[in-house]
Amino acid sequence: MGRYKCAYNCETSSDSDVKFFKFPLFNPRKLKKWLINMKWKDWTPSRFSVLCINHFEEQYIDRTGKCVKLREDAVPTIFSSADNTQKRKASINPRSKRHKPPAVKASQTSPAQPPTTTDATAKRSVQNKESRQTEEEPARDKDPKKSEKWRIIVDEGLMKIESFPHFFHGDYCVPQDIQWAPDDNVSKEGEDPENVIEVKEPWQWLGLDVRGPLPQTLNGHKYVLTVTDYYSKWVEAVPMQSCLPSHVVKHIVDIIAHFGYPLRILSRLPHDIVHKINRELKDQLKVAVALVVYHQQTGTADLITQQLIDRMVSDLIEEHAADWDVYLPAKVFSLCFKEHSKTKERPFSVLCCKGHEPVQSPRGLNYTYSKIRESVFVIR
Domain, as residue range, for 83: 4-114+151-177
131 domain-assigned: no
Amino acid occupying residue 245: P
281 domain-assigned: yes
322 and 201 within one domain: yes
pLDDT, mean of residues 191-211 = 87
215 and 321 within one domain: yes
108 and 12 within one domain: yes
145 domain-assigned: no
Q: Which residue has the higher pLDDT, 274 or 106?
A: 274
199 and 158 within one domain: no
187 domain-assigned: no
Q: Which residue has the higher pLDDT, 349 or 187?
A: 349
Answer yes or no: is pLDDT of 164 > 50: no
289 and 163 within one domain: no
Answer yes or no: is pLDDT of 261 > 70: yes
pLDDT score at 35: 85
87 domain-assigned: yes
Answer yes or no: is pLDDT of 28 > 70: yes
Query: What residues have CB less than 8 Å from 306, skipping those under 6 apart?
Result: 209, 228, 299, 300
Q: Which residue has the higher pLDDT, 230 or 113?
A: 230
CA dist 340 → 24, 204, 227, 236, 265 (Å): 17, 19, 17, 15, 21
Between 9-13, 165-169, 288-292, the lowest mean confidence (pLDDT) is in 165-169
95 domain-assigned: yes
pLDDT score at 114: 45
185 domain-assigned: no
pLDDT score at 10: 64
- Residue 207, class by beta-carbon neighbours within 10 Å (0-12 exposed, 13-18 middle, 19+ buried)? buried
pLDDT score at 311: 92
- Looking at the chain, how many residues does it have? 380
pLDDT-derived band at 49, boundaries 50, 70, 90: confident
> DSSP readout, 289-341?
S--EEE-GGGGTTTHHHHHHHHHHHHHHHHH-TTTHHHHHHHHHHHHHTS--T
282 and 166 within one domain: no
134 domain-assigned: no
pLDDT tens, residue by residue, 65-100: 878 889 888 998 887 655 544 444 333 344 444 444
Answer yes or no: is pLDDT of 300 > 60: yes
CA gap 56, 67 in Å, rounded: 16
302 and 258 within one domain: yes
pLDDT score at 351: 94
237 and 203 within one domain: yes
pLDDT score at 119: 52
Q: Which residue has the higher pLDDT, 239 or 185?
A: 239
201 and 270 within one domain: yes
168 and 231 within one domain: no
106 and 229 within one domain: no
pLDDT score at 278: 97
The domain total for the chain is 2
Torsion, Cα 54 60 62 63, to 10 degrees, reads 40
- Side-chain-side CA neighbours of 160 within 13 Å: the count stands at 3
pLDDT score at 160: 56
CA gap 238, 332 in Å, rounded: 9
- Give the SS3 label for residue 63: coil
245 and 102 within one domain: no
pLDDT score at 149: 73
Read off the CATH number of the domain in which 244 is found.
Answer: 3.30.420.10
pLDDT tens, residue by residue, 215-255: 999 999 999 999 999 999 999 999 999 999 999 999 999 99
Answer yes or no: is pLDDT of 258 > 80: yes
Is 211 in contact with 227 (CB distance < 8 Å)?
Answer: no
Enter the pTM of the model. 0.59
